[in-house]
Amino acid sequence: MIDLKAFEVWFVTGSQHLYGEETLRLVAEHSQTIAASLNSPSQMPVTVVFKPTVKSTEEIYSICAAANNDKNCIGIIAWMHTFSPAKMWIGGLKILHKPLCHLHTQFNRDIPWNDIDMDFMNLNQSAHGDREFGFMVSRMRINRKVIVGHWQDPEVLQQLNGWSRSAAGWNDWQGAKFVRFGDNMRYVAVTDGDKVEAEYKFGYAVNTHGIGDLVTVINQTSDAAIDTLIEEYSDQYTLMPSLLKGGEKYNSLRDAAKIEIGMRAFLQDGNYKGFTDTFEDLHGMAQLPGIAAQRLMAEGYGFAGEGDWKTAALVRAMKVMGSGLKGGNSFMEDYTYHLDPANSMVLGSHMLEICPSIADGKPSCQVHPLGIGGKDDPVRLVFNSAAGPALNASLIDMGNRFRLLVNEVEAVAPINDLPKLPVARVLWKPYPDMKTGCAAWILAGGAHHTGYSQNLTAENLQDFAEMASIEFALIGKNTNLYQFKNELRWNEVFYQINK
Ligand code: MN
């Protein structure tokens, strides 16, 4: 999987020369203590690196330039222990293009009522020092995260942890490559979009390979490699009898394994972080990749069906953000509804390709007809998904901007067995309620394809959207349609003005 510890966030403390050596020595000491504490493995998924206090325009510019150029640095946490006159920050902030988190904290949690004197006041100035810094960041209209509270406060640590995950997801997109096997599903609108603008805005490239390029690689797969992979399938999943050696569909399993091996080789060779395919363009392939797409997703590749490159890239970013957390992230589609007024819910699924990282229990490996596409029956993993808080995220191209739309949902345990449904599935109830949640989603132009997450929060995705400087819209517990419609209208004006 993706190891976030390889990435660094730099802990940068601002000050000035005014205070003299003793105060600056304490500033450095305190900053080091905070950085070291944040860096303990239980606190942050990434590595926190202490940087010497910056005290002048030149030092601030240098640290920002260095952060930009360091490929392991995914963002800066800034804190003004003392007062750091913010005109000194203009030059540095102007060039900084890594995510910024302003930690509004203080070294001591409590006021030392009996001992507080002017030396203490001279040193512990973040209550006003951070406001001077905050003004300049706002004055320059720079997106950043502001986290308030003592640096040992669990809530603060949780927010820092989340922000650094978003920064890791954002960093992962920079220079990333996604491949589309074939084009978009014919005539479909929401899965398409402006790939040039996406590369400019998001930093990743999306390019297409004709399906023949992939088929060539698939056809190079050796029988021995297929045997090995089938053993792995037998270890990890419950195979239905027809897929066992000697069974009538054993050859379908071999075809599926061959496709998986070929796809993995293609992705590794091209250094891709994700891919799309479409059931309409499988020329030369025996079956639609089902188990292949599912297992590649579980390895960390982004994926979405029908040429949906935006969702494939989003799923990849979500996997990076959620790395190491309990629960998973998957490509998802709102498939069908249960409209019982007393218990309304959505059944989420896809033709095949749901990531087993969200499986509850051991998946079963099955083969069934697909019904569309005219190819052999595809092999797929079938499973249920656990109950609990989750969300759906959709990245859409509104023509003049990208919008990241999130709906918080509550996944529910399967209420029935679904013995004839041969695909992985999830049941959920959208917040704030079924009718409002679905209406808001449709009004916002949200896609039928999403990234489904069991371990990310709306705040993670909001931070991510701010790093990307794109619109973020949330449908959550407090959403009401009147307010939400106005928000969309007002955003329309904002993004026209703020081009
Ligand atoms: Mn679909």
Residues in the chain, total: 499
Q: With DSSP H G I counted as helix, E B as strand and the rest as coil, what are the percentages for the chain, rounded to 5?
A: 40, 20, 35
pLDDT for res 212: 96
Quick check: 195 pLDDT over 70?
yes
Q: Which residues of 94-116 are buried (b: 16+ CB within 10 A; e: fewer)?
A: eebebbbbbbbbbbeeeeeeeee
Quick check: 69 pLDDT over 90?
yes
Q: Over the stretch 428-439, which tens digit does the pLDDT of each residue have?
A: 999 999 999 999
pLDDT for res 43: 87
Tell me what the pLDDT averaged over the chain comes to. Answer: 97
Beta-ladder partners of 397: 402
Distance 449 CA to ligand 1 centre (A): 6
Mean pLDDT of 241-266: 97
Higher pLDDT, 425 or 498: 425
What is the per-residue DSSP string for 43-58? T-SSEEEEEEEE-SHH
Distance 450 CA to ligand 1 centre (A): 9
Q: Are strands 402-412 and 364-367 parallel, antiparallel or unpaired?
A: unpaired
pLDDT for res 499: 75
Q: Where does the pLDDT of residue 1 fall: very low under 50, low under 70, confident under 90, or very high at 90 and above?
A: low
Distance 54 CA to ligand 1 centre (A): 51
Mean pLDDT of 317-342: 97
Distance 408 CA to ligand 1 centre (A): 20
Q: Over the stretch 450-462, which tens digit does the pLDDT of each residue have?
A: 999 999 999 999 9
Distance 333 CA to ligand 1 centre (A): 6
Q: Quick check: pTM over 0.95? A: yes
Distance 216 CA to ligand 1 centre (A): 26
Q: Where does the pLDDT of residue 194 fall: very low under 50, low under 70, confident under 90, or very high at 90 and above?
A: very high
Distance 184 CA to ligand 1 centre (A): 11
Distance 206 CA to ligand 1 centre (A): 19
Distance 493 CA to ligand 1 centre (A): 31
Distance 272 CA to ligand 1 centre (A): 21
Phi, psi of 422 (to 5 degrees): -95, 35
Distance 302 CA to ligand 1 centre (A): 15
Mean pLDDT of 256-277: 98
pLDDT for res 39: 95
Q: Over the stretch 162-171, which tens digit does the pLDDT of each residue have?
A: 999 999 999 9
Q: Over the stretch 106-126, which tens digit does the pLDDT of each residue have?
A: 999 999 999 999 999 999 999
Provide the percentage of residues in the chain whose pLDDT is more than 70. Answer: 100
Using CB atoms within 10 Å of the CB of residue 231, give its burial: 0 to 12 exposed, 13 to 18 middle, 19+ buried.
exposed
Quick check: 373 pLDDT over 90?
no
Distance 301 CA to ligand 1 centre (A): 17
Distance 67 CA to ligand 1 centre (A): 40
pLDDT for res 397: 98
Distance 189 CA to ligand 1 centre (A): 12
Quick check: 374 pLDDT over 90?
no
